[in-house]
Structure 1
Amino acid sequence: MRQQRFIELGEGYSDIYELCELITTNADRLERTFLFKAATKDGKPSISLAASFSPAGEGGFYPIYICREGIPSKEGNVSKRQLVFEEAAASVGSKPVPVELKHSSEFPETKLFFQYVTGVLRLNHLLPPLD
């Protein structure tokens, strides 16, 4: 049985570089990259970067690595962290899929937020269904 789960990295530069390293060193397993856009309750937009990978071996574990909401977003202005991520994705032939989401602060628990994101991705056929 396939198990899909988010693995949360941090929000800083080193975390983005770690995500980029996962993308480039596991290019053969990379399924898709994502650019999640959300706005806080006070209207401040932020971006999350994520990448999903196919299972390694026969384990059936389908990881989705995410750097959650650590990048402030300004109209017409792309941050250095977003550029680094997009360049890493492009280097292995992936273009991040933009997805509009609710901000995680609208959920009482992070686990509920990740369930919501999983549902949105499945409804849009961006994650495979569970076996």
Structure 2
Amino acid sequence: MIQRFIELGEGYGDIYELCELARVNKDRIHHAFIFSSKKDDKQYYSIAVALKPTNTANFFPIYICREGIPSISPVSKRLAAFQETLDELEIKPVQMDIRNSISFEDTTLFYQYLIGILRLNHLIPPLQN
């Protein structure tokens, strides 16, 4: 099974697009994620939704808005919008601390690291032939 991150942007429009993807595909949602990481002593959030493959497709997409939401008080409107969408869909997100993507040579390595963590924690299916 091909498991791939599909990166959306960091802005409001991208967050709302991710929320709409979740609503439209609510029956396909495998898990939703809120990842937190530190960069320059500041906390940032990435949000993601993993969708089950369609029919006989061998593709497991994970849509993500990477590290664009700063940890602020009160909670960022972008993070609040994602949490409200998940509440509406009655989905509890998996929250996890991860390394920031800047600690990797490129984003491909970062996403391989993240897929490894998700597989090891049984949050996405194992690699299949």
1:72 CA drift (Å): 0.6
Give the corresponding residue for 1:38.
37
Taking every aligned residue pair, what percent have the same amino acid on both sides?
A: 52
The TM-score normalised by the length of structure 1 is 0.94
In structure 1, what is the equivalent of residue 127 of structure 2?
A: 130
Matched letter for residue 22 of structure 2:
I
Matches within 5 A, 1:92-107: 92-107=89-104
- Aligned with 1:127: secondary structure? coil
With normalisation by structure 2, the TM-score equals 0.95
SS where residue 109 of structure 2 aligns?
helix
Hey, what does 1:89 align to over in structure 2?
86
Aligned-pair CA distance for 1:77: 3.4
Stretch moving more, 7-16 or 84-93: 84-93
Is 2:15 the partner of 1:16? Answer: yes
Q: CA RMSD in A?
A: 0.9
Structure 1 residues not aligned, in runs of 5+: none
Q: Which residue of 2 aligns with 1:56?
A: 54
Name structure 2 gaps, 5 residues minimum: none
| Number of residue-to-residue matches in the alignment | 128
Match among 68, 71, 83 for residue 70 of structure 1: 68
Which structure 1 residue ranges, 4+ long, deviate > 6 Å from structure 2? none
Task: Measure how far apart 1:93 and its partner are.
Answer: 1.6
